Structure formats: C-alpha cells, structure tokens
A and B are shown apart, each in its own frame.
Chain A
C-alpha cells in the first residue's frame, strides 16, 4: 500500500542550530502535504499545509520564519526548524494523500520525527 516516509525518526540538536525533517511519499504523488506537531501527551496540532511549487500555508500562531517548509517535488516536503530552542522540542509528523484523492480515507502519515533541542 501507499507509504509516507519521514526522516530522521529522532534527532538531537544544539540550541541555535537548524534541523531539517523530510517527508516523502514513496509510491504516489502529493501536491499537498501537512505538517503536525505534538507535544508530550497532547494532541496533534496542524502547523502548515505544504503546497508543491508554491508557498506553504501556515496555521495561526505558527511562525513561518522559524518553521520553513519547502515542497520542491510531488513526492517530497521538508520542514526546517531554524535557530532551534529547547521549547521547539516536540514530535513532528507529516501526512499526505495521493493527488486527486476524493475519498477521505486515504490519508497516510509518516512515522514521525522526535526532535530534542539541548
């Protein structure tokens, strides 16, 4: 079946550095992908919609300059956490659906990425 792969699964970075997380659809094309953030023992909150070939759409309260999203191809979206701080430590997870999907039950999630900023 369709698979969305996310990399890295775990990353530790120093405060002030940037870290990139990749979300890749392995056997389908996706014009949009979604990035969510989950704090420990909390729900998933949508951060932004990644649009292939155009700017991402950010949810209210999400800093677009801090969380850079690039969707350069129909199978890859990247989230870069710039100048990371300990409060950015969280679980980040992406989702995607095949382009043209009109049936809602084909939303696939990546494995998620645990980010720890020290």
Chain B
C-alpha cells in the first residue's frame, strides 16, 4: 500500500515570497512517481510537477520545483515568487510507475496575502 502525508493543513504566505509545501510518502514499490496538483475552488485538478523515483535531478517547472529526498521519502513542493493566483489547495500524490492510479495526501490550503 502507498501513503502520502501532508502535515500542513493551511499556510499563509506573503505575496512574492517563496513557499515550501511538505510531502512525505511511504511505498514498498521500487519504482514510483510523485505528483503535485493544484485545486482551485472550482474543483479542477491542475497538474504542476512530476518526479520519477529514478530521476537523478529534482524536477522543475517554471516557478515550481520539487525537492526530492529519496532516502527521507520526502517530495516537497517549492513555489518561488508566490502570486495571489497561487491561493488554492495543493495535493501531493503517488503512483506506481506506469500505473495511473493515484493515492493522494490530505492537502494543504495555501493562501497568498497581498
């Protein structure tokens, strides 16, 4: 079984500052993928970034980067230069490599303060 733990139910960050959202995982599978999604109040799931378990480098996508520490089983999301539009729920998720079935964490509600 796979499990995702997000320990921050809510965070408030000043606009233009960087923010780190924590995610730790547990899995017995040797190959897996880690995902971060953004969910605004409309409900849609917006894909942000992906990290494969065998990727040597941390993933980056624009203002998003994933701090992947395999030995510690953590996959924290870093958002640089936060914007008001970043206010949303953020979910970390895991899947077996090549399997599209996702296990989600409980999410972190990020609020950007002007």
Q: Which residues of A are at the interface with B, using a C-beta cutoff of 8 A?
A: 32, 34, 38, 42-46, 49, 91, 93, 95-97, 101-102, 104-105, 107-109, 111-112, 114
B100 A91 Cβ-Cβ under 8 A: no
Contact B91 A44 (CB under 8 A): yes
In the complex, what distance in Å separates the CA atom of A105 from the CA atom of B98?
9
Q: How many residues of B contact A (CB 8 A)?
A: 23
* Interface segment out of the listed B14-22, B68-76, B78-86, B101-109: B101-109
B25 at the interface (CB under 8 A from A): no
Chain B contact residues, majority secondary structure:
loop
Tell me the interface secondary structure of chain A in the complex.
Answer: strand
Q: Which B residues fall within an 8 A CB radius of A?
A: 33, 35, 37, 42-45, 47, 50, 52, 91, 95, 97-107
Q: Known: A107-B35, A112-B43. Contact between A101 and B102, CB under 8 A?
A: no
Q: Tell me if B106 and A93 are in contact (CB < 8 A).
A: no
Most buried by A among B44, B91, B106: B44
Closest chain-B Cβ to A36's Cβ sits at a distance in Å of 8
Q: When the two chains form their complex, are residues A43 and B104 in contact, meaning their CB atoms are under 8 A apart? A: yes
Known: A42-B106, A96-B100, A97-B100. A111 touches B44 (CB 8 A): yes
